[in-house]
Chains A and B, each alone.
Chain A
Amino acid sequence: MTRPSPLSRSLLVLSGVMLIVWLILPLVPLLIWSFARGWRFPDLLPQQWSWQAWEYALSARSGVVESLGVTVLIATLATALSILVGVPAGRALGLYRFRGKGLVELLILAPVIVPGIAVALGLHGVFIQLGLTNTLAGVVLVHLVPTLPYMTLVMAGIYANYDPAFEQQARSLGASPLQTFIHVTLPAIMPGIIVGGLFAFLVSWSQYVLTLLIGGGRVITLPLLLFNFASAGRNDITGAIGIIYILPGILILLFTARHLSGANGAVGGFGRT
């Protein structure tokens, strides 16, 4: 690697600063609000500080803890199902040629292109007939609409660079189909499962419209609760819940940055310079 010129160095610093400004700065008012007791327009900082919003947010009355549990459960189940469906689907798309493959690829991408609300309105009728509306299972299923495309596409990319002859070699050496999957296939596709799984988790975590429509207000995830407090004008509580809400995103970002990029990164071209 060559030493960067002073100009490109300063550009690098500038872009780093701007990235921080864009990503971190909007969170600062959120953090301040969560500790504020009244914060009116001309004041730069609140007049008084308090733990009130946090006490309320973490108490049973607010429903935050319960809804955090629901959100984690839904995102985990949606991720698990995405992996279950996305890994074989990605294998088919990445490894095999078949008739109508282009159409399948388009259909898999469609939920990402078509607005979620259009999909959800269409699904709503079907889910009513199946008795899936207002249930956790229904919400998990509808979350697959936006999570599956990410999982499948990531896995298709992994499988496109994968040599299935390794599996034949393992069978020939005496491994059963299950042993072959565990010892040979899984280690090779693990980076894809991790990246795709994290995507799926975050996409499910941030669903609002789909949860609202299919859950019918009975299944209350964190974004729904957050929106309730925000529209009620409770900026302090919104701030506290908001901080809780973005935590998994930040943790996952740190994890991916540590494990999936850099010189020993498991996923080439992912955060690698």
Chain B
Amino acid sequence: MTRVLLTGLTKTYPGAPAPALDNLTLDIASGELTALLGPSGCGKTTTMKMIAGLLQPTTGDITFDGRSILRLAPENRGVVMVFQNYLLFPYMSVADNVGFGLRMRKVPKARIADQVAQMLALVKLPDLGRRRPSELSGGQQQRVALARALIVKPKVLLLDEPLSNLDAHLRIEMRDLIRGIQKDLGITTIFVTHDQEEAVVLADRVALILNGRLRQYDAPDAFYRRPADAEVTGFFGGRNLLAGVSAGGMFDCALGRMTLPDGARTGAGLLTFRPETVRIGPAPVNALIGQVVDRHYLGTQTRLRLAVASQTIEAVLPPDLAHAIRPGDTITVNLPPDSLWVMEGTA
């Protein structure tokens, strides 16, 4: 069990105008599964490599349980990184790949064989030890890479885009496997991803990094319900943003006067709500009348765009509710006050 603390972590590559990672401070609780989320080039892989000891930070510190690890060589940190392309050693069998870390620690052969068998069973590949990595599918290779990392009992496990190279049904299987093993073994785990869905389905907490800076560090659902600013909202696919002024539990904006939940921020700000919280039908408060601009069927849901006053708002409805609604129809919708969120910023 290891608590990981990053303090003011900054990395500037020689010759680069801006730092790849700028003053990142992150407190990762012991045994937690944390996602570093951001578009490619935002500094998340740089962060991972600095924790693994494969890159030195320009400034800042990394501590495990309060002790700085910056001076330790990668092999002495107790951190194992699983790369996105798995990097199984092609000259070794699957079993030799999994046993690699123990061989490097000069563990007796018989014990290595035992533990390799256990690990392969843990990742549900019990009979593939004698194969070559090139004979395995992508999903199997990833599980071997995971077994190879777990066998050395790392204090901190780092995963680089763990689900990105897998197709849809394998992603769910792999997500369950990673979560299951991670909770059983209680290893503090950090993974990076550019995919917000991957982050929210896998992580206990998500750190969103945009342009080298931490923008929000929160539980997964907070990014939908309580985004920090317009950019975070946009990154998570939210498009309903309305500038206005919040006062006395009401928000004045182009849609009119909206009733806010208790404790909402006051003053000038941006109002946002998730498209899936929009309800069809009239209501005592926050009812809006709008005209349907267009309709997109997305399989499990249907996306509508509505012209309300001078604004366009987006709503996502179950297909059976949206079925009878046609572009051009005038409909009444309402926004439950609990679904509204006021954040800092102007349009």
User: How distant is the Cα of A188 from the Cα of B148 in the complex, in angstroms?
Assistant: 20
User: How distant is the Cα of A184 from the Cα of B91 in the complex, in angstroms?
Assistant: 9
Total interface residues in chain B, CB < 8 Å: 23
Known contacts A163-B87, A173-B149; A168 and B100 CB within 8 A of each other? no
Cβ contact within 8 Å between B100 and A173: yes
Residue in chain B with minimal CB distance to A175: B104
Known contacts A176-B104, A179-B104; A171 and B87 CB within 8 A of each other? no
| Binding stretch for chain A, among B59-67, B73-81, B199-207 | B73-81
Please indicate the chain B residues that have their CB under 8 angstroms from the CB of A173 in the complex.
75, 80, 100-101, 104, 148-149, 152
Cβ contact within 8 Å between B54 and A168: yes
User: How distant is the Cα of A173 from the Cα of B79 in the complex, in angstroms?
Assistant: 8
> Could you tell me the distance in whole angstroms from the C-beta of B341 to the nearest C-beta in chain A?
40
User: How distant is the Cα of A38 from the Cα of B82 in the complex, in angstroms?
Assistant: 74
Known contacts A171-B53, A171-B54; A176 and B75 CB within 8 A of each other? yes
Cβ contact within 8 Å between A172 and B100: no
Residue in chain A with minimal CB distance to B152: A174
- A15 CB-CB contact with B under 8 Å: no
- Indicate with 1 or 0, residue by residue over B96-109, a CB within 8 angstroms of chain A CB atoms: 00001101110000
Contact partner, B87, options A166, A175, A176, A183, Cβ 8 Å: A166
Cβ contact within 8 Å between A171 and B89: no
Please indicate the chain A residues that have their CB under 8 angstroms from the CB of B53 in the complex.
171-172
Cβ contact within 8 Å between A169 and B75: no
- B95 CB-CB contact with A under 8 Å: no
- Which among A163, A172, A183 has the greatest number of chain B C-beta atoms within 10 A? A172
Residue in chain B with minimal CB distance to A179: B104
> Could you tell me the distance in whole angstroms from the C-beta of B145 to the nearest C-beta in chain A?
9
Please indicate the chain B residues that have their CB under 8 angstroms from the CB of A184 in the complex.
89
- A170 CB-CB contact with B under 8 Å: yes
Cβ contact within 8 Å between B91 and A171: no
User: How distant is the Cα of A193 from the Cα of B89 in the complex, in angstroms?
Assistant: 19
Please indicate the chain B residues that have their CB under 8 angstroms from the CB of A163 in the complex.
87
Please indicate the chain B residues that have their CB under 8 angstroms from the CB of A271 in the complex.
none
Cβ contact within 8 Å between B83 and A169: yes
- Indicate with 1 or 0, residue by residue over A133-147, a CB within 8 angstroms of chain B CB atoms: 000000000000000
- A29 CB-CB contact with B under 8 Å: no
- A187 CB-CB contact with B under 8 Å: yes
Please indicate the chain A residues that have their CB under 8 angstroms from the CB of B89 in the complex.
166, 170, 183-184, 187
> Could you tell me the distance in whole angstroms from the C-beta of A137 to the nearest C-beta in chain B?
37
User: How distant is the Cα of A170 from the Cα of B103 in the complex, in angstroms?
Assistant: 11
Total interface residues in chain A, CB < 8 Å: 17
Which of chain A's residues 189-238 have a Cβ closer than 8 Å to chain B? none
Which of chain A's residues 150-165 have a Cβ closer than 8 Å to chain B? 163, 165
> Could you tell me the distance in whole angstroms from the C-beta of B152 to the nearest C-beta in chain A?
6
Please indicate the chain B residues that have their CB under 8 angstroms from the CB of A172 in the complex.
52-54, 74-75, 79-81
Cβ contact within 8 Å between B91 and A187: yes
Which of chain B's residues 76-129 have a Cβ closer than 8 Å to chain A? 79-81, 83, 85, 87, 89, 91, 100-101, 103-105
Please indicate the chain A residues that have their CB under 8 angstroms from the CB of B54 in the complex.
168, 171-172
User: How distant is the Cα of A172 from the Cα of B54 in the complex, in angstroms?
Assistant: 8
Cβ contact within 8 Å between A170 and B81: no
> Could you tell me the distance in whole angstroms from the C-beta of A75 to the nearest C-beta in chain B?
29
Please indicate the chain B residues that have their CB under 8 angstroms from the CB of A179 in the complex.
104
User: How distant is the Cα of A173 from the Cα of B75 in the complex, in angstroms?
Assistant: 6
> Could you tell me the distance in whole angstroms from the C-beta of A82 to the nearest C-beta in chain B?
24
Residue in chain A with minimal CB distance to B79: A172
Please indicate the chain A residues that have their CB under 8 angstroms from the CB of B49 in the complex.
168
User: How distant is the Cα of A158 from the Cα of B258 in the complex, in angstroms?
Assistant: 67
Known contacts A163-B87, A168-B54, A169-B87; A175 and B81 CB within 8 A of each other? no
> Could you tell me the distance in whole angstroms from the C-beta of B93 to the nearest C-beta in chain A?
13
User: How distant is the Cα of A251 from the Cα of B83 in the complex, in angstroms?
Assistant: 43
User: How distant is the Cα of A235 from the Cα of B53 in the complex, in angstroms?
Assistant: 67
Cβ contact within 8 Å between A165 and B100: no
User: How distant is the Cα of A155 from the Cα of B152 in the complex, in angstroms?
Assistant: 33
Cβ contact within 8 Å between A171 and B83: no
> Could you tell me the distance in whole angstroms from the C-beta of A81 to the nearest C-beta in chain B?
27
Please indicate the chain B residues that have their CB under 8 angstroms from the CB of A168 in the complex.
49, 52, 54, 74, 81, 83
Please indicate the chain B residues that have their CB under 8 angstroms from the CB of A165 in the complex.
83, 85, 87
User: How distant is the Cα of A171 from the Cα of B85 in the complex, in angstroms?
Assistant: 16
Residue in chain B with minimal CB distance to A173: B101
> Could you tell me the distance in whole angstroms from the C-beta of B210 to the nearest C-beta in chain A?
26
> Could you tell me the distance in whole angstroms from the C-beta of A202 to the nearest C-beta in chain B?
27
> Could you tell me the distance in whole angstroms from the C-beta of B173 to the nearest C-beta in chain A?
24
Please indicate the chain B residues that have their CB under 8 angstroms from the CB of A176 in the complex.
73, 75, 104
> Could you tell me the distance in whole angstroms from the C-beta of A84 to the nearest C-beta in chain B?
23
Please indicate the chain B residues that have their CB under 8 angstroms from the CB of A170 in the complex.
89, 100, 104
Known contacts A165-B83, A168-B54; A175 and B75 CB within 8 A of each other? yes
User: How distant is the Cα of A242 from the Cα of B49 in the complex, in angstroms?
Assistant: 59
- Indicate with 1 or 0, residue by residue over A114-154, a CB within 8 angstroms of chain B CB atoms: 00000000000000000000000000000000000000000
A-B pairs, top 3 by smallest CB distance, nearest first, are: A171-B74, A173-B101, A169-B87
With A165-B83, A166-B87 known, 13 other A-B pairs at CB within 8 A are A165-B85, A168-B52, A168-B54, A168-B81, A171-B75, A172-B74, A172-B80, A173-B75, A174-B104, A175-B100, A176-B75, A183-B100, A183-B103
Chain B positions near chain A (C-beta within 8 angstroms):
49, 52-54, 73-75, 79-81, 83, 85, 87, 89, 91, 100-101, 103-105, 148-149, 152
Can you list 8 A-B contacts (CB < 8 A)? A169-B87, A171-B53, A172-B74, A173-B101, A175-B101, A176-B75, A179-B104, A187-B91
